[in-house]
Structure 1
Amino acid sequence: MQQLYPAQIAEWASQQDQRPVLLDVREAWEVETASAKTEALDFVHMPMQSIPARLDELDKTRPIACLCHHGGRSMQVASFLMQHGFEVVNVAGGIHAWSAQVDPSVPTY
C-alpha cells in the first residue's frame, strides 16, 4: 500500500484521473477538534467502525486517501478498501502530520 505524507497529497491528487476523496476515519469528536480540508480532494467523514456498513457510499472510480490521527486506523481501513477493489493510499502520520506539514492552524491533540 502506498504511503504518502500530507505534504505529498496535493501533488498526488493532481495526478489522478478522477477527483480524489480524503476519507477521514476518525471519530466525530476528533474531526470537530481538528480537520484537514484541501481544495484538491473532496472531504468525506466515515468513522472506522462504520466503513463496512457504508461501503456502498464510496465510489470505486475515485481514488481515496485515508486519514486518521497518526496513520494506524487509516492504514487498516485502506487495507480493507483495497481488498474490496478501491484505489487507496494512506496518509502517513495522519492529522498530526497534516498540522506539521500542510496547515499549522490545524490543532494537534
Structure 2
Amino acid sequence: MLAQITPADLTQWLASVPAPATPVVLDVREPWEWQTASVQADGFTLVTLPMNDIPARLAELDPHSPIACLCHHGARSQRVALFLLQNGFDNVVNIAGGIDAWSQQRDPGVPRY
C-alpha cells in the first residue's frame, strides 16, 4: 500500500527517517515545470527526474533511500511511487496535492501554475 503525505506532513515524515539515511524528494515534473516553480531542499535531497525518464534512469536512485515523490497535483508522482515500490524500493511515499499543495501548505513563495 502506498502511503500518502501532504506537504504539511513532510516535516514529520522527514523526522521519522532514521539516521544516517538521507531522505529524497523526487520531483517527477517536466523541466519547464521546474523552471516555473520549484521547492528548496531543506532537510532532504532534491532529485529532479521527469516521470517518463524514470524507467531508464532507475539505477540513479537508491532503493534503500526514503523517497517522497512530487509532481504538480499528485497523480504523476503517485504513478512513479507505485512503480518504485514494484521495482524493489522499500520506503516510498507520495506527496498528495503536489507542488500546488506545497505552495498552499508549506511555502507560499512557490508559484502556483
Shift of 1:13: 0.8
Deviations 1:28-68 (A, max 9, x none): 00011001123111000000000000000001121000000
For 1:32 and 1:85, locate their aligned partners in 2 and report how far apart those are by CA, in whole Å.
Answer: 31
Count of paired positions? 109
* TM-align CA RMSD: 0.7
2:42, 2:99 → 1: CA distance? 16
Shift of 1:20: 0.6
Unaligned runs of 5+ in 1: none
Moved over 4 A (4+): none
Q: TM-score, normalised by structure 2?
A: 0.94
Q: Which residue of 1 aligns with 2:37?
A: 34
Structure 2, unmatched stretches of 5+, are none
Aligned mate of 1:19, from 9, 22, 25: 22
Partner in structure 1 of residue 93 of structure 2:
89
> Please, what TM-score do these two structures have when normalized by structure 1?
0.97
**What secondary structure is seen at the aligned counterpart in 2 of 1:97?**
helix
Asked if 1:108 is matched to 2:112, the reply is yes
Letter in 2 for 1:28: P
Structure 1 vs Structure 2: percent identity of aligned residues? 56
